[in-house]
Amino acid sequence: MKTTVRQWGNSLGIRIPKQAMENSNLNLNDDLEIITFDEGITLRKKKRKTLRDIASPLISTKDWKFDREEANERR
């Protein structure tokens, strides 16, 4: 596949062909990471963080258990 770098406001941009989007499982509004090197760039879809990814450093689900009575005592 081929595309061309174009002027887009004060920046440069490219259009990603539909087939390339489908082949790489990209969707509208996906966040991409730009990796630069001497010969060009690579675009990589950024993995979305789940609630578990965000909360896991805060709570160790292995040893943690909700205790309703303890929670009510804190009121």
pLDDT digits (tens, 9 = 90+) for 7-61: 999 999 999 999 999 999 999 999 999 999 999 999 998 887 788 777 777 766 5
Q: Is 64 a member of any domain?
A: yes
Higher pLDDT, 38 or 73: 38
Write out the residue range of the structural domain in which residue 10 sits. 6-73
Q: Is 57 a member of any domain?
A: yes
Tokens matching residue 53? 């990814």
Gap between the Cα atoms of 21 and 24, Å rounded: 5
DSSP percent split of the chain into helix, strand, coil, nearest 5: 25, 25, 55
Give me the number of domains the chain comprises: 1
Higher pLDDT, 15 or 75: 15
Q: Is 1 a member of any domain?
A: no
Contacts of 72 (CB under 8 A, 6+ apart): none
For the question of whether the overall pTM of this predicted structure is more than 0.85, the answer is no
Gap between the Cα atoms of 71 and 73, Å rounded: 5
CATH code of residue 64: 2.10.260.10
